[in-house]
Amino acid sequence: MPRPLCTTEGCTKITSTNGKCIAHGGGKRCTESGCEKSAIKNTGKCTAHGGGKRCSESGCDNGAKGTTMKCIAHGGGKRCNEDDCNNPVASKSNKCKDHGGGVTCSEKDCTNNAIGKIGKCRKHGGGKRCSEEGCTTSAADLSDKCKTHGGGQRCSETGCDNTTRNSTDKCSIHGGTIICSIKDCEKQVRYGYDKCMSHGGGKRCSEPECDKGADSKTGKCVSHGGGKRCPNCIDWIDSQCGSYRYDWYCARCFKRKFPDDPRSQVHYQHTKEMLVRDAINNSFKGFIHDKPLYTGACECTHRRRIDHRKLIGGTMVCVETDEFAHNAYDPKDEEIRYDDLFMVYSGKWIFIRFNPDKDKSNTSFEDKLTTLIEVLNEQIHRAEVDENKEPLEIIKLFY
């Protein structure tokens, strides 16, 4: 004789006890106060409250997943089948969320994974929300509040109300941070790895021969187009990442589109480029700062800008302030930029690429400026006497 179905309206599952299936309250429930989840076998508690098999990793009390002896954070459970990916799979798929596993949010044009039963991601209201009045942020862990309002597990240190990190009972300040396994490296590891992003932890850029860390959604590093891009220059060959400080524009475009905004004034006054400009103007006359190159009857939609330039004879002498040595730029894009400039002015070029930030020499910024002025003076003299014969010379300072 077949077993009766669950008495909950619309449910076609077989009853366990109390006339209901396990999903609707049938079967043995967790003994933890206020918890309605199913108890695991003979433990009397659900997985979240200590029931079932636990992770074998030292100091970890999370539930072990599947047939493994570890929790998801420590490598247990089914892993993504993409090459070199060790993330846990999403839902019933064979891939992690980064590689398309799980259910996609039902909001139009949203590619995030859906959370919970309503078919939406956390951003669009999926999952449990914070119970604090007026707060729409997701609730943390098993609590009914977000981390800002006290939800989630808190640090065990006396008087500390920060959230715990990395499956420990402490926050990052009090030892909850897992350090990179590379000798002498004190950076934090990436989730699911034993190394920091710099030493190979986390997802890598999908561009051939690029080993930089990838943005999780785009699969590429910042140099190759990863990360959230500035809406103004997203189609430019040298597009930049947007910043929340500038309403997701890059600082360069924000300054040019909204010159009267107070944030543009702060940015304009304090960049190293401005300090370089002042040093050049105090030592030389006639240098043009940050102006586009125009040619007659040109219909270009994007006109290349040079930080500092001066035409001397048949040579354009230029200084580019490459903050942090343009480590986040694709070298191919830099080459294309030179080609674009040659299309505007076909004479000879001398580029001085100046890195004002920290480098291996540990030279101070003031001493770097002094060196820049000396080198610039030398190159101006070479252009005046037509000593430079190559169509393009690139001099890199402090790279």
- The pLDDT of residue 295 is 55
260/281 same-domain check: no
Final residue in a domain of this structure, among 77, 95, 119: 77
214/321 same-domain check: no
Residue 189, domain member (yes or no): no
392/277 same-domain check: yes
Give the structural domain span for 47: 27-77
- The pLDDT of residue 328 is 55
CATH code, 370: 3.40.1350
Final residue in a domain of this structure, among 19, 46, 77: 77
Residue 160, domain member (yes or no): no
Query: How far are the Cα atoms of 104, 116, 152, 168, 287 from residue 140, in angstroms, in the given order?
Result: 21, 14, 5, 16, 56
Residue 283, domain member (yes or no): yes
340/233 same-domain check: no
- The pLDDT of residue 30 is 83
Residue 143, domain member (yes or no): no
Which pTM does this prediction carry? 0.41
Residue 285, domain member (yes or no): yes
378/285 same-domain check: yes
- Residues paired with 310 in a beta bridge: 317
Return the structure tokens found at 370: 């002094």
- The pLDDT of residue 301 is 43
305/351 same-domain check: yes
379/321 same-domain check: yes
388/289 same-domain check: yes
Residue 232, domain member (yes or no): yes
Residue 152, domain member (yes or no): no
278/381 same-domain check: yes
- The pLDDT of residue 302 is 44
303/345 same-domain check: yes
67/33 same-domain check: yes
Q: Which residues of the chain are modeled with pLDDT < 50?
A: 300-302
279/358 same-domain check: yes
Residue 247, domain member (yes or no): yes
State how many domains the chain has: 3
What is the SS3 string spanning the chain?
Answer: CCCCECCCCCCCCECCECCECHHHCCCCECCCCCCCCECCCCCCCCHHHCCCCECCCCCCCCECCCCCCCCHHHCCCCECCCCCCCCECCCCCCCCHHHCCCCECCCCCCCCECECCCCECCCCCCCCECCCCCCCCECCCCCCCCCCCCCCCECCCCCCCCECCCCCCCCCCCCCCCECCCCCCCCECCCCCCCCHHHCCCCECCCCCCCCECCCCCCCCHHHCCCCECCCCCCCCCCCECEHHHCCECHHHHHHHCCCCHHHHHHHHHCHHHHHHHHHHHHCCCCEEEEECCCCCCCCCCCCEEEEEEEECCEEEEEEECHHHHCCCCHHHHHHHHHHHHHHCCCEEEEEEECCCCCCCCCCHHHHHHHHHHHHHHHHHHHHCCCCCCCEEEEEECC
